[in-house]
Structure 1
Amino acid sequence: MSKYIVQGQTGDWEVVIGLEVHAQVTSKSKLFSGAATEFGAEPNSQVSLVDAAMPGMLPVPNAECIRQAVRTGMAIEAEIHKWSRFDRKNYFYADLPQGYQISQLYHPIVGEGQLVIDADDKGGIPEDKVIGIERIHVEQDAGKLMHDQHPTMSYVDLNRSGVALMEIVSKPDMTSPAEAGAYVRKLRSILRYVGSCDGNMEEGSMRADVNVSVRKVGDPELGTRTETKNVNSVRFVMQVIEYEANRQVDVLESGGSVDQETRLFDVATGTTRTMRSKEDAHDYRYFPDPDLLPVVLEDDFLTECRASLPELPDAKRARYEGELGLTAYNARELTAEVETFARFETLLGVVAAKIGKPEAKVATQVANWTLSVAPGVVKGLGDEANLANSTPEAQAAILSMQDKGEISGSQAKEIYEIVLKEGGEPEAIADAKGLKQVSDTGAIEAAIDEILANNEDKVEQYKGGKDKLFGFFVGQTMKAMQGKANPGVVNQILKDKLG
């Protein structure tokens, strides 16, 4: 287990965590109107009469938003409800023109599912763990209050009003900040694989409400929970949990009681503060929305949704390990982000074709290049790197020369640097800059003969059992050849001459 334990004066406390993740559905228009959903538009420039709650305006469900919610449910192995219904959640706030939010309380479109978070020794998660998902329901987003536009007034931007959200509600199965962080990362990865949400937490298209409670270790009863709203990064989710767990333990151990309340996270201080008392469902006077018919899903629609799903992270990782022979670490890193596996798979196909080997034979080389070598060169160049020059064909040419033994690993990096800064064909760069390895056995043998002749004492020591001196001879040979000798050829000739 990876429980987060808070040590108090009266004993040890454990934390119980549940997350409500709000993910903006990938759609060009809103849930019940044709208004655009593009991020960063001028305030109130993407507001229809429906979004502004003008009298007589009726909502019309966006079929694409329903489809994306269903596909997301299928990706987490959840129950899909063929019959679901929209409800009105009644509350009054300046950014909610209708005076209610259209949501789903009693009959959500997606029922129970699950998500597996991956073991991470560095993160404190010793083994894979299944996190239950209670439901996914579809609802409207509210607008946005802007408090920094005027010294005495707050302005309202309704561009987000009516944008479709999936609220993905976990069960209280997480027991540490590390598990919660892994859950959000894995969920974000799945949403981006499916294409149902872009996962841009910094833009607000994915954010989490963090529910935290504490109880004495071994106590079966759940404590009173707090809910910290609209946390927009994995790091902040983990900070909220750590702060809230310790704060609640301090309250309880000082003889107080934890209030069931909604809190806000202060990024600057890393603390939470009270926002309002936490309402229960009956406080919102939920009732079926009279303007909307129930949503009824047909079998053909469900079949199309399932057929449209891509290979998901866990299945892709298993294939990378089983079919391509990659290490568990490389497979996990390559499948964590959509962009990473896309770059890897594209480059893998080009390299295999250029070298003329099966993908499994070059997969490790391409994986190391994708995860370590290429990013390291790009980072080292900074603004000098022109990524437009980094085509799969250019990278494949470098890896092909390395596979043939024509260039070394350091030469591959040097050639890639030149490609990124100046462009050009890697083979021509290698020839023009003298960056190819020497595999001429005559030249290498001559250098080795001279080194052995000048180090007769060390030759005798090597033959007498000092095997580590072999590295000395290799180093001296590479130095004599200015680092351009093929290491494989050097090793073989030395072994032959030293017996």
Structure 2
Amino acid sequence: MAQAQEQGDLAVVIGLEVHIQLETDTKIFCGCSTEPSDEPNTRTCPVCLGLPGALPVLNEAAVESAVKVGKALDASIPEETRFHRKNYYYPDLPKNFQITQYDDPICQDGELECSVEGTRRTVGIRRAHLEEDPGSLKHQGGSIDAADYTLVDYNRAGVPLLEIVTRPDFRGAEEVRAFLAKLEEVLEYLGVFNASRDGSLRIDANLSVVDADAIDEDGTLDEAARENANRTEVKNISSHKGAEKALAYEATRQKNAIRRGRAVEQETRHWDESRGITVSMRSKEEEKDYRYFGEADLPPLRVSHWKEEIEIPELPDARRERFQSEYGLNEEAADKLTSTKQVADFYEEVTEQFDPDLAATWVADELLGELNYRDMDVTEIEERFDEVSRLIELVATDEITTKNARETVLRTMLDEGATPDSVVEAEELGKTSGDEVQQAVKEAIDENPDAVEDYHNGEGGAINFLVGQVMQKTGGSADPGDVNQLLQTEIE
């Protein structure tokens, strides 16, 4: 449970509704493709357009994905779950109702641990339920409250969503950001989510402000205080950073209103990312406004036994701990190497050929560092992992220097798509022979008597200067450590 974060005599209470687009080939109730299209309204059929007489058929892959998430969140899966119709009018909802789950969701009472500024938090998961996505609105000429007109694209209508509803366990916007990062990490490990898809993660946040003394030291909230506090629902949040900004703004807005003696209206507000503010959309609906009733065209769903039958991969926390114990990595390296499943898998492939420390240095520091600098993701070079392994081999077998491997070969590989061997050949980066290095050492000593004298006088920087001279003469193809030893031997 989160710790209370006070600001004067007021504290923030936040709960989330996180909408996850599940990675399936087809939509949840029809056979239309979920692949994005630049052509609006081309991924549609009578079912996802809500035409009369069209009947839904449940996508098995979407249900399997929901069960995997339930296992990862340690949630219970009831013996029987069912679908309902949630009735409301909105332009991008073609049937004027949404097929969703109401009082019998597929996942119930779970939890997820995350770390906030080095402190572990356990966030309660009230439920996770399957539903269909509405279409998407394209506001032309401005934001939602200032657009000239709005277009509707139904390509997304019917894409499978899993809505994860947390308990009101957050006491600050930074906790929300940490939780979302951890949740996304887990979902990607499960293989049910692709963060690169537009609209793949959408967050609605319920935020209210209560007296700070209504929250105990362990973060437990007085239920009566929560019920009595008016809350706002903030919509249109689509990123971790956006969630932190939106909720920090909304918390400040509500606290300022209360301190000035104004009432906080219970309403739905829109996060305008371009202006960095929330704007009022409409009064907040209650459950009765949606007029839920059972979806007669879909039978009850009985999949509780799938929780035992469906396997899920090793999750990030467990893999992080194993990397530290099995490979002797420190916490920082283990965090980097388990940041995504692709990175962790590649690291373990490399450790089958090379020393774990060497593999960690090249994957966690060199490769990820260069990718981050280029704003690239490791998935963009998955097909070239064998080339990265070859580069590590060139270093491990002393065919090229670490410096050249890092500063020339790897960077050229990423910038120009070249192979490591072709870069080594084109730039003539193969290590020089022992005789050539020895000759370069003698020349550096003969040409720099002042530096030699400084070395004898105990100035440590002199040897580094001489190493640099030798590296220049050899075109960077000598090993700096070997050069250092040769210089000291020759001078002494």
1:122: which partner in 2? none
Question: For the structure 1 residues 366 and 54, does the alpha-carbon distance in structure 2 shift closer, same or farther, using more than 3 Å as the test?
Answer: closer
Select the residue among 462, 472, 486 that pairs with 2:479.
Answer: 486
Q: What count of residue pairs does the alignment treat as equivalent?
A: 470
**Unpaired stretches in structure 1, ≥5 consecutive residues:** 120-124
**Matching of residues 446-485 of structure 1 within 5 Å:** 446-447=442-443, 450=446, 455=451, 457-462=453-458, 470-475=463-468, 477-478=470-471, 483-485=476-478
**Unpaired stretches in structure 2, ≥5 consecutive residues:** 142-146, 216-224
Q: CA deviation at 1:298?
A: 5.5
Q: CA deviation at 1:451?
A: 6.6
Select the residue among 166, 187, 192 that pairs with 2:188.
Answer: 192
Q: CA deviation at 1:240?
A: 0.9
Select the residue among 35, 39, 43 that pairs with 1:42.
Answer: 39
CA contact (8 A) 1:444 1:485 kept: no
Question: For the structure 1 residues 443 and 284, does the alpha-carbon distance in structure 2 shift closer, same or farther, using more than 3 Å as the test?
Answer: same
1:68: which partner in 2? 65
**Matching of residues 29-428 of structure 1 within 5 Å:** 29-40=26-37, 42-119=39-116, 125-148=117-140, 154-200=150-196, 203-220=198-215, 221-222=225-226, 223-297=229-303, 299=305, 301-305=306-310, 307=311, 309-346=312-349, 348=350, 352-353=352-353, 357-359=354-356, 362-373=359-370, 376=373, 391-412=384-405, 413-419=407-413, 426-427=420-421
Q: CA deviation at 1:182?
A: 1.5
Question: For the structure 1 residues 157 and 468, does the alpha-carbon distance in structure 2 shift closer, same or farther, using more than 3 Å as the test?
Answer: closer
Q: CA deviation at 1:224?
A: 2.3
CA contact (8 A) 1:3 1:15 kept: no
In structure 1, C-alpha distance between the alignment counterparts of 2:40 and 2:471, rounded to whole Å: 65
Question: For the structure 1 residues 247 and 138, does the alpha-carbon distance in structure 2 shift closer, same or farther, using more than 3 Å as the test?
Answer: same
SS at match of 1:77: coil
In structure 2, C-alpha distance between the alignment counterparts of 1:238 and 1:479, rounded to whole Å: 50
Q: Which amino acid aligns with 1:126?
A: G
In structure 2, C-alpha distance between the alignment counterparts of 1:80 and 1:391, rounded to whole Å: 40
In structure 1, C-alpha distance between the alignment counterparts of 2:386 and 2:31, rounded to whole Å: 42
Q: Which amino acid aligns with 2:318?
A: A
Q: Which amino acid aligns with 2:191?
A: G
- Post-superposition CA distance 1:112-151 (Å, at most 9, x none): 11112234xxxxx2322221111101112223344539x9
Question: For the structure 1 residues 153 and 429, does the alpha-carbon distance in structure 2 shift closer, same or farther, using more than 3 Å as the test?
Answer: closer
Q: CA deviation at 1:81?
A: 1.9
Q: Which amino acid aligns with 1:141?
A: D
Q: CA deviation at 1:332?
A: 1.7
Q: How large is the RMSD of aligned CA atoms in angstroms?
A: 3.2
Q: CA deviation at 1:110?
A: 0.2
Q: CA deviation at 1:107?
A: 0.9
- TM-score, L = length of structure 1: 0.83
Q: CA deviation at 1:296?
A: 0.8
In structure 2, C-alpha distance between the alignment counterparts of 1:497 and 1:325, rounded to whole Å: 38
In structure 2, C-alpha distance between the alignment counterparts of 1:444 and 1:109, rounded to whole Å: 72
Q: CA deviation at 1:22?
A: 0.7
SS at match of 2:16: strand
Residue 440 of structure 2 corresponds to residue 435 of structure 1: no
Q: CA deviation at 1:217?
A: 2.6
In structure 2, C-alpha distance between the alignment counterparts of 1:229 and 1:41, rounded to whole Å: 25
Identity across matched positions, percent: 35
Q: CA deviation at 1:70?
A: 0.8
CA contact (8 A) 2:451 2:462 kept: no
Q: CA deviation at 1:422?
A: 6.1
- Post-superposition CA distance 1:276-325 (Å, at most 9, x none): 111221222222223322111163x33332x2x12222122222222223
In structure 1, C-alpha distance between the alignment counterparts of 2:235 and 2:389, rounded to whole Å: 47
Q: Which amino acid aligns with 1:332?
A: D
- Post-superposition CA distance 1:143-200 (Å, at most 9, x none): 3344539x98755433333322111011111222221112112212222221222234
Q: CA deviation at 1:105?
A: 1.6
